[in-house]
Amino acid sequence: MDVETQAGLDGLSRRGLFGAAAAGGIGATGLGLLTAERAGAQAAGVPVKQWREGRGWGWVWGRDDEVGALNELGPELAAKALRLARGRVYDLGLAYDRSSFKFAGHARGEITTFRSPDGQFAEGDRPEITTGNSSRTSYASCLNSISDNVATQIDGLAHIYQGRDNHAYNSFKAADIVGDRGVLKCGVETIPPIVAPATLVDVAGFVGKDPLPAGYAIGPDLIRRTLAAQNVEIDVLDVVLIRTGTAASWLRGGGVGRNHTLLKRSDSAGISVSAARYLVEQRGALMVGSDTSGLEVTPPKEQLPGIGTSFNPVHVYLLVQQGVHILEFNNLERLARDRVYKFAYVLTPNKIVGNVAATVQRPIALA
């Protein structure tokens, strides 16, 4: 699939959009305003730069862009989010250790004590320990060997590749950007600090199956009915978090997801391709996430048109085609218990250069 076909949702490709702007004498600022006006966005005083209803985003931020939809972040959106905060803080991160459940395609984490108090004195290889240290001061440090795709995480735009040319977001090809020491484009260090309004869609609570059964597909109609029952709407540029109840299973596994058999069941519940398109193209979701390891239903119940079959078509759609980051394994249990459906979502991803996801994160919700 060529660049024009991949990026040109509804016939509006990156090249076509910027080419039309140049031909008409429209600068970058004017182009953003024009697109926002066409979007008819309902972001309540927040400028919308490039989202367009019926298209979403796509590859519209320029040939060298590595940020995607998060280019929409700004002071107005942060201020809107913080107006939702009234003093309650919710920890959305899940604790992780070497026994924790994970997607089988990722490495298990190991934590090793690299320096111990007794070991330093026994080895005697550090001058600060052996010389002028009559108080016997010592320290401990650990070595972490861990996948960048475990526990509470944000998927970066270099995570998924598609097509015979192995391209990621914005036509970046794996042969050009995936090195032996991480990725050279779209690494997690490019993800800005995130402060944005968010909406919880408690599907498990609405359908009365908590957690949702294995392979349970969440489509657009179910999302709409859940929102109606919650008496809330998704605003343009909201972070959208889908609750399946899987985090509750994680917490029952010693607090760190050790109960793999139980987790495997509900972890395969998730959104369909149609739901992903609805959230991005119709509702303007800035990011989409859930309390599972992969957000989408597995095995997939439908595919993206025009690209053939995929084991994770929602990832292809969000990360590759739209430049929308994915949030996984968020602990949504306390939010659901307190029926908090609108809140500020705050996440500052780590800046490990070259990682394709930010792993074992600790986002918070302010409500």
Domain boundaries, the chain: 62-100+147-366, 110-145
Alpha-carbon distance values, 342 to 119, 233, 319 (Å): 50, 9, 24
- Higher-pLDDT residue of 160 and 319 is 319
Residue 10: predicted pLDDT: 38
DSSP string for 303-356: --TTS---S-HHHIIIIIII---EEES---HHHHHTT--EEEEEE-----TT-S
Q: How confident is the model at residue 105 (pLDDT cuts 50, 70, 90)?
A: low
pLDDT for residue 128: 87
Mean pLDDT of 294-312: 94
Three-state DSSP state, 201: strand
User: Which of the two residues, 14 and 146, has the higher pLDDT score?
Assistant: 146
Alpha helix locations (H) across the chain?
3-7, 14-23, 28-39, 75-82, 117-123, 127-130, 174-177, 203-207, 220-230, 246-252, 260-267, 273-277, 313-315, 333-337
To 5 degrees, how large is the angle CA 27–CA 68–CA 101? Answer: 175
**CATH code reported for the domain at 62-100+147-366:** 3.50.30.50
Q: Is residue 27 very low, low, confident or very high in pLDDT (cuts 50, 70, 90)?
A: very low
pLDDT at 103: 66
Residue 15: the pLDDT is: 36
Phi then psi for residue 277, to 5 deg, are -65, -40
Six-digit token string for 43: 């972001």
Query: In sequence order, what are the beta bridge partners of 143?
Result: 112
pLDDT tens for each residue of 208-227:
999 999 999 999 999 999 99
pTM, full prediction: 0.85
How sure is the predictor about 1, in pLDDT bands with cuts at 50, 70 and 90? very low
pLDDT band (50, 70, 90) for residue 153: confident
Q: Is the pLDDT of residue 25 over 90?
A: no
- Taking a C-beta distance cutoff of 8 angstroms, is the pair 194, 346 a contact? yes
Closest Cα partner for 111 from 325, 337, 360? 360
What pLDDT is stored for residue 264 in this prediction? 85
Q: Compute the average pLDDT of residues 156-182.
A: 93
Q: In this predicted structure, what is the pLDDT of residue 112?
A: 79
For residue 137, pLDDT beyond 50: yes
pLDDT tens per residue across span 269-292: 999 999 999 999 999 999 999 999
At 223-251, the pLDDT tens digits run 999 999 999 999 999 999 999 999 998 88
Q: Dump pLDDT digits (tens) for 46-94.
A: 999 999 999 999 999 999 999 999 999 999 999 999 999 999 999 999 9
Segment 337-361 shows an average pLDDT of 92
Per-residue model confidence (pLDDT) at position 48: 96
Whether the pLDDT of residue 140 is over 90: the answer is no
For the chain, give the percent of residues with pLDDT over 70: 86
